[in-house]
A and B are shown apart, each in its own frame.
Chain A
Amino acid sequence: MKKIHTLLNAGFLFLLAAFLLGGLAVAVLRPKEINFYENRPANRLHRPTLGTFLDTTFQDSVEDGLSDQILMAQTFKKAYNDGSSQLLLDLISGFLESHPQQYIYVRGMYFFGSDHLVYGPWALEDADHAGRMAQKAEGLNRLMDAHPDLDFYAYYVEKDTDINFMTGVKAEGYEYLRDRLDVPKGHMARFQIDSFDEFRQYFFRTDHHWNCYGSYKGYQEVAKLLGVDEPLLEPQEELLLPYTFSGSKTASAGIKDVYWEDFPVYRFDYPEMEITAKSGPLADYGQLEECLAGQLEKADYGICYGGDLDAVVFDTGRKDREDILVIGDSYDNAILKLVASHFHKTHSIDLRYNDDFSFSQYVRENPVDKVLFIGNMDYYVMEEFLPED
C-alpha cells in the first residue's frame, strides 16, 4: 500500500512539474508573435534591467508576457470567456425576454428590448458633455468665420445615448448644439431617434453603428441637407452577409462570438468613381462584394463599408458638380460612396487619424464648395474631432 501511495504521489508531482515547467518552457523557448485571440501583438518576456526591476515594470511585463505565452494561454482565455459568457446569457435569457422595457446591465453595457445591446442614456451634465460641446461649437464657429467662402453643414446622428428608452426623456444634445453652432438656417439636421422602436429599426443589435436601413435614411437626409437636387440612389437589392456578426458592443460586454446577429446590406449601383487614399488608389472603399461572396475571414461594419481612413477622396470625374469635404466619424463610412455619387470630388477626413491636419491648408490645396460635419454625440463632444485651422 505504501509503495502504491509513493508511486501515486511521485506521479502527481511529476505531472504538476510538467504542467508548470512545460508552460514556462514554451513561454521562454517558443514565444508567439501574435495573440490571435485578442487580435494584437503578443506580450513577451523581456530581459530585466536594474531600473525596470526597481520600478517593477519588469515584474509587470513578466505577468503580461506569461498570460500571453504559456502553453495554451489563448485557448484557456477563450474557453473561459466563451464559457462564462454563454453561462451568463443562458442564465439571463428568460429574464431578458420577460423584461423588454427595462435596462438590464451586462458587463458595462445594457440589454434593452430583450435582445438589443445598448449604451445607457447620457445627460448633458454627465462628464461635462455640455461644456465640451459648447467648446466644440465655439471651435467650429471660429473655423466657419475664418472661411466665409465655404458652405458649412452639420448633421447630428442621435443614437441610444441620446434617449432614455424607459422614460422617453432625451439628452437634447442636438438642440444644445444647434443653439450654439453658427451654421446658416437649414444647414443643420439630425438623424432623429424618439423611441426604442425607431432605434431597433435603424441600428445594429450588437454594434454601435447604424445598419443599412439607418444609414440609407441618413443618406437621404444628408442629401436633402446638402441640397442634392437629383434623384437619389435606390437600393437594388437587400442581402444578408454570409457571416454572423458580433459587433463592438458584444466586445465591450465580453460576449463577442457568443452573441451575434445577421448583417443585412443594400447593394447599390454606384456611378464610376476613382477612390484614392493617402497610400494610393483603392479598388473600392469597403469590401462589400467580398463580404457578400464570403471570401473574407470575418465581416464587420468597417470591413464591409470601409474603415476609418485618415483621408480618402472619391472622384466621379463630373466636373460640373461641386466638391465637398466631409469631416466625420465612423458613421459616415456607410454613406460616403452614396454622398460622393452626387459630387465631383468628395474628400473624407477622420481627424482621429490626422494629428497634423490643417483645415486652411487642406482647403487651399483641395478647393471645396461645401463642408459637412457629421457624427454622433461623441463627435460633437470629443476634442480630437475638432479640426485645427
Chain B
Amino acid sequence: MVFSSLSFLYFFFPVCVVFYYLSKNRVWRNTVLLVASLGFYAWGEPKNIVLLLLASLVAYLCGLWMEHLGGKGRPGGRKAVFILGVVLLTGNLFVFKYLNFFCRNLSVFLPVSVPDLALPIGISFYTFQILSYLIDLYRGEIALQRNYFYLTLYVSFFPQLIAGPIVRYQTIEDEILHRQETLDDVAAGGRRFIVGLAKKVLLANNVGAVATIIFGGRPEVYGSAMYWVAALCYALQIYFDFSGYSDMAIGLGRMFGFHFLENFNYPYISTSITDFWRRWHISLSTWFRDYIYIPLGGNRVKKSRWVLNLLVVWALTGFWHGAQWNFVLWGLYYGALLLVEKLFLGKYLDRCPKPVRWVYTMFFVLIGWVIFDLTDFSQMTAALRTMFAFIPTDLVRVIAADTAITTGVFYLAAGLVCSFPVLPWLKKKLPQTGPVLALENAACLGLLVLCVIYVISMSYNPFIYFRF
C-alpha cells in the first residue's frame, strides 16, 4: 500500500487513527499500531511479512543472547553473536536483493542459473533499521528491548516501513513507551502529511512524466537542451517523490506521537557536493557514516586508506539503491566527486561566489541523476552523449512529438519554486497568528482535495523509492 493510494487515504489511515485514539492506554495504542503496521505491509506483500517478522526475531534473539553473554562476562561470545546477527540479516538482504544480480553477472562466465527472486518491498529500509538496533546495542548505546512486539513495532512501524526515513532505534526508544500525543502535534502531523502527499501527487508525478517522455524519445528529436530539461525534471521528480514520502512518514509519525529526524533539507540549494549529501537522504548518509565509514577508520587513517574507505562507502551507498551496475557507478561518481572536493577543489570553491558554487553543484547533481535513472547502460551513455553533443533543439519537433510536454512546463516551474525554501521563509516572515494558522489549515485541506482529484484521475502513481 502506498500513502498516495485511495486505500490508504480513505480506509487505512482514518480507520487506524480512529482505533488508535479510541484505545485507552499505551499498551493498547501500541498494539493498534503493531497490528496496523503488519496489516499495512501484508496489504502489499502478504507472503513476505514472514520475512519481516523473522528478521525482527533474529534481532530480538541476538539482542537477548548478547545481553546474556555480556552479563556473564563473555565479550568474545557476545561479539560472535553480534556477528552472527549481522551476517544473518545482511545475508537475508543479499539473497533477496542481490542474488539475482550476482548470478546474472556470473552466468556470463559460469553455468549459473538466475533464481529470479522477487524483491520484498522495503527490505533495504527495514534491514538497515534492524542493523542499527543490533549495532547500537552491541556498542552499548541503547538498552535491550525485551519485548519482541515492541521491537517488531519499531521495525514495522508503517509510516517509515517501506520507503524510510531510516529511523534508528535510539530516536524512538523512549517514545515507544513514553510518548505524548497532543492536539497540536496531531494537527501539525496532518498538515505535514498533506504537504508530502501534494509533493508526490501534484509535483513528482507530473514533472516525472516530462523526463519519461524525453528520455524515452529519440535524441535527435529533443536535442541537448531538452535532455538537460529531462535531467532537471527527473531531479525534481525524485526529490519530491522521496522527500514527499519522508514528509508523509514524519507527519504520520507525529500524529501518533513519534518524532522522526528530518531526512531532507532543501538539497537543491547546496553549494557543494559535500553540502548536497548533508541535505539529501540524511538518514541514509548518516547511517553509512556511523556504521561503515567511521568503523573503517574514517579520515583518521593513511591517505590511501582513507581514499579507499570513501570509495567503498560510496560504492555501497550506490549499491544499496539497487542491484544494478548503474547504481554502483552512481555511488562511485559521488565518491570521486567528494574526494576531489576534499583533496583540493574545496578550498577553491570556498572562494567562489555562491551562485557559481550552486551552478557547479547542480551541474554534477543533474549528471548524477541521469546515471541513477537510466539503468540501461546504452540508454544512459546515449543520454549523456546527447547532453554534451550540442545537438540543436527544434521546439516545433519537441512539442509535436508529445504535446504533454507543454503542461509539464507548469509543473516544472512549480517544482523549481518549491525546491527552494520558500515556505520556511514565508513562515518565518508571517506572524504565527490565528488567521495565518486558519489560512494554513485551509490551504492544506484544499491541497488534500486537489490530491484526491489527481489520485482518482491518474492511474500512474508509483513511488520511485519502493524498489530500494
Contacts and interface: CB of A to CB of B under 8 A. Distances in A.
A357 B42 CA distance: 48
A248 interface: no
Interface string A217-238: 0000000000000000000000
Interface residues of B, number: 47
Nearest to B438: A8
Nearest to A73: B456
A76 B456 contact: yes
A104 interface: yes
Contact of B401 (A1, A4, A63, A105): A105
A90 to B, nearest CB: 10
Nearest to B437: A8
B6 A70 contact: yes
Contacts of B396: 95, 99, 102
B115 to A, nearest CB: 22
Contacts of A4: 434, 437
Contacts of A87: 407
Contacts of A23: 10
A80 B457 contact: yes
Interface string B448-460: 1100111011000
Interface in B438-468: 438, 441, 444-445, 448-449, 452-454, 456-457
B421 interface: no
B47 interface: yes
A103 interface: yes
A20 B434 contact: no
A80 B453 contact: yes
Contacts of A56: 43-44, 46
Interface string A70-108: 100100110111001001100110010001001111110
B400 A63 contact: no
B404 interface: yes
A62 B441 contact: no
B187 A13 contact: yes
A70 B187 CA distance: 24
Given A13-B187, A56-B43, 9 more contacts: A6-B183, A6-B184, A8-B441, A9-B441, A19-B445, A21-B18, A66-B11, A80-B456, A88-B406
A328 B13 CA distance: 53
Output the residue of B17, B186, B396, B456 with the most chain A CB within 10 A. B456
Nearest to A28: B11
B187 A12 contact: yes
B47 A54 contact: yes
Interface in B386-406: 396, 399-404, 406
Interface in B360-405: 396, 399-404
Contacts of B448: 16, 19
Interface string A44-56: 0000000001101
Contact of A88 (B44, B403, B433): B403
B44 A59 contact: yes
Interface string A19-62: 11101100100000000000000000000000001101001001
Interface size class of A (residues with CB under 8 A): 35 or more
Nearest to A254: B457
A5 interface: yes
Contacts of A53: 42, 46
A74 to B, nearest CB: 9
Contacts, number: 129
A66 B18 CA distance: 19
A-B residue pairs, 3 tightest by C-beta: A9-B187, A80-B457, A12-B441
A20 B11 CA distance: 8
B106 interface: no
A171 B10 CA distance: 51
A67 interface: yes
10 contacts: A4-B437, A8-B437, A10-B183, A13-B186, A20-B13, A56-B44, A62-B11, A76-B452, A88-B404, A95-B399
Given A6-B184, A12-B190, A59 B43 contact: yes
Contacts of B14: 17, 20-21, 24
Given A12-B444, A88-B406, A104 B399 contact: yes
Interface string A167-194: 0000000000000000000000000000
B417 interface: no
A16 B10 contact: no
A287 to B, nearest CB: 32
A15 interface: yes
B403 A92 contact: yes
